[in-house]
Amino acid sequence: MSSISDKISGLANEAIGNAKQAIGKATDNPKLQAEGIAQEVKGEAQQAVGKAKDAVEDTKDAVKDTIDKI
């Protein structure tokens, strides 16, 4: 998956997780709340992966630019 798709999937999972938590709380459904928390955490992890991929790509580009100057 690309960094952009990781970030988009992460945002979607966070949003769905937050919605599940709210619905679970409103309907007094602890299982749905727990599912929401898990999905939100999954989304946060996906976003972190996307950001890490960006950082690796930026570092790779910087190293390449430095080598090209030599």
Cα 34 from chain centroid (whole Å): 18
Q: What is the residue extent of each domain of the chain?
A: 3-69
Q: In 3-state terms, what secondary structure has residue 12? A: helix
Which residues contact residue 40 at a Cβ distance below 8 angstroms, ignoring those fewer than 6 apart?
13, 14, 17, 18, 21
> Coil, strand or helix: which one is 66?
helix
What is the full per-residue pLDDT of the chain (70 aa) written as tens digits? Answer: 789 999 999 999 999 999 999 999 999 999 999 999 999 999 999 999 999 999 999 999 999 999 998 8
pTM: 0.82
